[in-house]
Chain A
Amino acid sequence: MKHTLSVLVENHPGVLSRIAGLFSRRGFNIDSLAVGTTEVPDISRMTIVVNGDDYIVEQVKKQLNKLIDVIKISEIDPVNSVTRELVLIKVNADTSSRSEIIQIVEVFRANIVDVNKDSMIIEVVGDEGKVNAMQELLSQYGIKELVRTGVIGLNRGPKTIK
Chain B
Amino acid sequence: MNTTGAEALIRSLEKKGVEIIFGYPGGSVLQIYDLLRDSSIKHVLTRSEQAAAHAASGYSRVTGRVGVCLATSGPGATNLITGIATAYMDSIPLVAITGQVSTDMIGKDVFQEVDITGATAPFTKHNYLVKDVKELPRVVKEAFYIASTGRPGPVLIDIPKDVAAAVFEYTYPERVNIRGYKPNYEGHPLQIQKAVKAINRARQPVICAGGGVVSSGCHNELLKLAEKCKIPVAMTLMGLGSIPGEHELALGMFGMHGTYFANKAVSQADLIIAAGARFGDRAIGKRDKFAPNAKIVHIDIDPAEIGKNIDTYIPIVGDLKRVLAKILEETEEVKEREWLNTIRKLKTEHPLKYEKSEKLKPQFVIEKLYQLTKGRAIVSTEVGQHQIWTAHFYKFSEPRRFITSGGLGTMGYGFPAAIGAQLGRPEERVITISGDGSFQMNLPELATALENNLPIKIIVLNNGTLGMVRQLQDFYCNGRHSCVDFKFVPDFSRIAESYGALGVRIQREDEVEDALKAVLNSDRPAVADVIIDSDEKVFPMVLNNSPLSEMIGGY
CA distance A10 to B142 in the complex (A): 15
Query: What does the 1/0 interface line of A78-93 toward B look like (CB < 8 Å)?
Result: 0000000000000000
Is there an interface contact between A18 and B121, defined as CB atoms closer than 8 Å? yes
User: What are the residues of chain B within 8 A of A103 when measuring CB–CB?
Assistant: none
Which of B117, B118, B180 has the most A CB atoms < 10 Å from its CB? Answer: B180
CB distance from B162 to the nearest CB of A (A): 17
Interface segment out of the listed A58-66, A111-119, A131-139, A149-157: A58-66
User: Pick the contact of B180 from A14, A25, A59, A70 — CB < 8 Å?
Assistant: A70
The residue of chain B having its C-beta at the shortest distance from the C-beta of A63 within the complex is: B304
> In chain A, what residue has the closest Cβ to B304?
A62
Decide: B121 and A21 in contact? CB cutoff 8 A: yes
Q: How far is the CB of B185 from chain A (nearest CB, A)?
A: 16
Closest partner residue, chain A, to B126 (CB atom): A68
Determine how close the nearest CB of chain B comes to the CB of A6; give it in whole angstroms: 15
In the complex the two chains form, is B117's CB within 8 Å of A25's CB?
no
Asked whether B303 lies within 8 Å of A62 as measured between CB atoms, the reply is yes
Knowing A14-B117, A17-B121, the reply to whether A71 touches B304 (Cβ < 8 A) is no
Task: Report the minimum CB–CB distance from A77 to chain B (whole Å).
Answer: 22
CB-contact partner of A68 in B118, B180, B302, under 8 A: B180
Give A104 to B529 CA distance when docked, in angstroms.
83
A69 at the interface (CB under 8 A from B): yes
Q: How many residues on the A side are at the interface (Cβ–Cβ under 8 A)?
A: 21
Interface members, chain B 93-148 (any A CB < 8 Å): 117-118, 121-122, 125-126, 129, 146
Q: Is the CB of B121 within 8 A of A68?
A: no
A 15-40 contacts with B by CB, 8 A: 17-18, 21-22, 25
Knowing A14-B117, A21-B122, the reply to whether A68 touches B304 (Cβ < 8 A) is no
- Residue A67, interface by CB 8 Å: yes
Asked whether, in the complex, the Cβ of B129 is within 8 Å of the Cβ of A14, the reply is yes
Closest to A72 in B: B180
Complex interface: chain B residues within 8 A of A68 (CB): 125-126, 146, 178, 180-181
Chain B contacts with A in 189-217, Cβ cutoff 8 A: none
| A interface SS class | helix
Complexed CA–CA distance, A17 and B129 (Å): 14
Q: Which residues of B contact A67 (CB under 8 A)?
A: 126, 180
User: A67 vs B117: C-alpha distance in the bound complex, in angstroms?
Assistant: 14
B304 touches A66 (CB 8 A): yes
- B residues within 8 A CB of A9? 180
| Complex interface: chain B residues within 8 A of A62 (CB) | 303-304, 308
> Known contacts being A10-B180, A17-B118, A71-B180, is A65 close to B304, with CB within 8 Å?
yes
Choose from B118, B121, B308 the contact partner of A59 (Cβ within 8 Å). Answer: B308
Nearest Cβ distance between residue B421 and chain A, in whole angstroms?
Answer: 29
**Shortest CB–CB separation between residue A47 and chain B, in angstroms?**
18
Contacts of B146 on A, CB cut-off 8 Å? 68
What residues of B have a CB within 8 angstroms of the CB of A65 in the complex? 303-304
Residues of chain A within 8 A (CB-CB) of B308 are 59, 62
> A85 to B317, alpha carbons, bound, how many Å?
37
What are the interface flags for B305-317 relative to A under an 8 Å C-beta threshold, 1 for contact and 0 otherwise? 0011000000000
Is the pair A59, B125 in contact by a Cβ cutoff of 8 Å? no
B307 nearest CB across to chain A (Å): 7
Contact present for B122 and A69 (CB under 8 Å): no
Given contacts A67-B180, A68-B181, A71-B180, contact A25 B122 (CB under 8 A): yes
Contacts of A71 in B (CB 8 A): 179-180
Rounded to whole Å, the gap between the CB of B94 and the closest CB of chain A is 16
CB under 8 Å from chain B, chain A span 94-149: none
CB-defined contacts of A69 to chain B, threshold 8 Å: 126, 180
Q: Which residues of A contact B117 (CB under 8 A)?
A: 14
Q: A14-B129, A68-B126, A68-B146 are in contact. Are A58 and B307 (CB under 8 A)?
A: yes
Residue numbers in A under 8 Å from B122 (CB-CB): 21-22, 25
Bound complex: CA of A21 vs CA of B129, how far in Å?
17
Task: For residue B384, give the distance in angstroms from its CB to the closest CB of chain A.
Answer: 27
Residues of B within 8 A of A58 (CB): 307
CB distance from B184 to the nearest CB of A (A): 11
User: What distance in Å separates the Cβ of B140 from its nearest Cβ neighbour in chain A?
Assistant: 15
In the complex, what residues of B have CB within 8 A of residue A55's CB? 307
Contact A59 B304 (CB under 8 A): yes
Alpha-carbon separation in the docked complex, A62 to B304 (Å): 5
Of B121, B178, B302, which one neighbours A66 at CB under 8 angstroms?
B302
A153 to B54, CA, bound (A): 46
CA distance A60 to B181 in the complex (A): 17
A69 to B179, CA, bound (A): 8
CA–CA, A71 to B129, complex, Å? 20
Residues of chain B with a CB closer than 8 A to A59's CB: 304, 308
Within 8 A of A (CB), among B290-338: 302-304, 307-308
Q: Which residue of chain B lies nearest to A71 when distances are taken between CB atoms in the complex?
A: B180
A18 surroundings in chain B (CB, below 8 A): 121
**Residue contacts A-B, CB under 8 angstroms, 10 given:** A10-B179, A10-B180, A14-B117, A14-B129, A63-B304, A65-B303, A67-B180, A68-B125, A68-B126, A68-B178
Interface residues in chain A, defined as those with a beta carbon under 8 Å from any beta carbon in chain B: 9-10, 14, 17-18, 21-22, 25, 55, 58-59, 62-63, 65-72
Q: Which residues of B contact A (CB under 8 A)?
A: 117-118, 121-122, 125-126, 129, 146, 178-181, 302-304, 307-308
Given contacts A62-B304, A65-B304, 5 further A-B contacts (CB under 8 A): A22-B122, A62-B303, A68-B125, A71-B179, A71-B180
Report, nearest first, the 6 A-B pairs whose CB atoms are least far apart.
A62-B304, A68-B126, A71-B180, A68-B181, A25-B122, A70-B180
